[in-house]
Amino acid sequence: MSHFSIVAAALIACLPLARAHDDWGDRDRDRDRHAHPALRTPGTPPGIALPPLATPASAWDGKAFRGGVVSVSHPLAAQAGADVLARGGNAIDAAAAVQFMLNVVEPQFSGIGGGGFMMIHLAADGRGRDRGGRTFALDGREKAPAAATPAMFQLSGTTPQALFGIASTSGISVGVPGTLALIDTALKRWGTIRLSEAIEPAIGVAQNGFRINRFLAANIAGDGGRTSLQPETAAVFRPNGVPLAEGDLLVQPDLARTLRAIARKGPKVFYEGEIAQAIVAAQQRSRAPVAAEGAGRMTLRDLKDYGVLVREPISVDYRGWRVASMSPPSSGALTVGQMLLMLERFPIGDAARGYGFGEAKTLHVMAEAMRLAFADRARWMGDADFVDVPERGLLNRHYVASRAQLIGESTRMATPAAGNPLPYDERHRGDKRSVALPDNSEEVRPSHTTHYSIVDRWGNVVSFTTTIESTWGTGIMVPGWGFLLNNELTDFNLAPAKDTTPGDPGANDVAPGKRPRSSMAPTIVFKGREPVLAYGSPGGSTIINSVLNVTLNLIDHGMSLQQAIDAPRLSVTSAAGTISCEGTEAFMRPKFSVATQDALRALGHLGLGTANGADACTAAIGSVQGVAIDLRSGRQYGGADLRREGTVIGLKPVRAD
């Protein structure tokens, strides 16, 4: 038995999981009932009605179903998942089929050469191999190899400006992949079909080909050179030097060969066999001018030792809804949670008080909350198996209130430093250490990913974000096997941060076996103990803000799921606070008006240009795929994002009343 199998079996045996994070929130709420009025949890703002034990009532639009819903960014992948549900499979089975198909039809975003986080809710009476009524997460995040060091990205022969581009397209940035191990673990423990059954649809499409959509064609044409750097990659996506265009047939026989080998031999062929050997050889490639310094450090032992982890999600209560998402090594739940708790004191959604959707007050306090939370993220968040992440302190309502008090309604704050959550964390009581200077860095690294959400007829829910990091990952395709390798290790600090400024723990510095900090935030929203919504997004650090935008749209602005997804988004990804916003596509409604943008400029916000009358909201942020469940009727709904080829497929349609 491989080390992977032993680790997975041992972790699975440890279930059921502790409810630690929920208990923290309960204790804090109990204290808040008796706290100073300024620190009490605000109630629902005027004008917002939250129906008891149900999703926001307006979430119901579009077709309703009873046999399960799949929401994915590509129609072929959505069909693969729906077919599994139609044959009697559960949400975990369908998620596996979707992932393998995405490797074929969205190879630029995710695949077996990468990793991901899967949130799972098992219904109390759902079909599966385990008792239900539980929510947990599978951590299939890539890991640093045993030979990794904190200073490994301090490559000579390149400028700081060029470092990311060189490192992220060299083998040194390849993390030990976790996606296949995650899917295999999920199927063995909670699925009902074999791994080979989940892979079969993808094999046919890889072997016979499919017509590429405009999104894949655009990602090839505008790849920044990544599909041209390695001959194997160029041969697939730029045959004879010509980039594939929309409607061209993409055939991937090497990928089909890989999928057949895994279907026949299981994940061992990937983590210990001939595919493992090919991965190790491929990640030895490096870019000029760093030469040998940029070669990957992964060994066969690193692959064999990879283990999937089962983690407890982090939850926060927001206006009566429990929002659960991915715990460290992701920063997703902590950062989204902080922002929600900060914004709870403002009457978001109350147009009479100037806090309607797209109004300047609303966008202003959102941007300020993002800046504060991202300052804390940069300082305190990383892989909690290696560093002490003060999770309790970061989400303590007294600490969050102290941060929210920095938000003024009439002016943009100066660049905030990270706060000090340690005195609010029971493990660190009495720790008065100072914190560092403000974080002025802006996260501009290109990053794509994919997210999909599934609910089955029994009420099992999967919310899964999966990635190879940048679009096309490293651009290194494993010769003869047809899949791309991730560049996930560039999510670590490229320069060691520990102790370089006062109070910096170096939470995201590289270390052997460590998982890099992620922004992925696969989310499930609950009313009481019942799931009512599941969604998530790609987009690098903007993932966090996409999830925040959709959550506010649903809970505060009373939008339906599809409206919440379609609406334009606002994002700020550092304490320095440059705003990005959307509005160029016709479906992105209601738009952020130029008058609102001018008002934000007047408050001092950056990134919106300087000329009055100019529409600066031209970004594209995320791609959210979601499902919803009406607790009263049991009807199921889906919402998909037109920012990609989002597709909802449901089973057993319900006739309109």
Tell me the backbone φ, ψ of residue 179, rounded to 5 degrees.
Answer: -60, -50
User: Six-digit token pair at 583?
Assistant: 């509005």
- Tell me how far apart the alpha carbons of residues 393 and 27 are, in angstroms, rounded to a whole number: 12
Closest-CA residue to 81 (of 193, 241, 167, 5) = 193
Q: Which residues contact 549 (CB under 8 A, 6 or more apart)?
A: 366, 567, 569, 570, 571
- Tell me how far apart the alpha carbons of residues 178 and 160 are, in angstroms, rounded to a whole number: 30
Long-range contacts of 161-164 (CB under 8 A, 24+ apart): 163/494, 164/445, 164/490, 164/494
Closest-CA residue to 327 (of 398, 399, 370, 385) = 385
Q: What is the DSSP string of 82-133?
A: HHHHHTT--HHHHHHHHHHHHHHH-TTT--TTSEEEEEEEE-TT-SSSS--S
Q: Which residues contact 652 (CB under 8 A, 6 or more apart)?
A: 65, 66, 67, 68, 457
User: Six-digit token pair at 119?
Assistant: 């949130």
Amino acid at 157: G
Yes or no: say if 596 and 358 are a contact pair by the CB < 8 Å rule: yes
- Tell me how far apart the alpha carbons of residues 584 and 579 are, in angstroms, rounded to a whole number: 16
The two most distant CA atoms of the chain are separated, in Å, by 71
Strand partners, 321: 318
User: Six-digit token pair at 380?
Assistant: 């305190």
- Tell me how far apart the alpha carbons of residues 265 and 254 are, in angstroms, rounded to a whole number: 16
- Tell me how far apart the alpha carbons of residues 314 and 335 are, in angstroms, rounded to a whole number: 11
Closest-CA residue to 24 (of 429, 398, 393) = 393
- Tell me how far apart the alpha carbons of residues 55 and 480 are, in angstroms, rounded to a whole number: 48
**Considering 449, 467, 551, 596, which one is annotated as catalytic?**
449
Closest-CA residue to 48 (of 418, 434, 435, 346) = 346
Yes or no: say if 139 and 515 are a contact pair by the CB < 8 Å rule: yes
Per the annotation, the verdict on 449 as an active-site residue is yes
* Residues composing the chain: 657
Yes or no: say if 313 and 119 are a contact pair by the CB < 8 Å rule: yes
CB neighbour burial string for 396-405, b if at least 16 within 10 angstroms, e if fewer? bbebbbebbe
Three-state SS at 195: helix
Query: Which residues are the active-site residues?
Result: 449
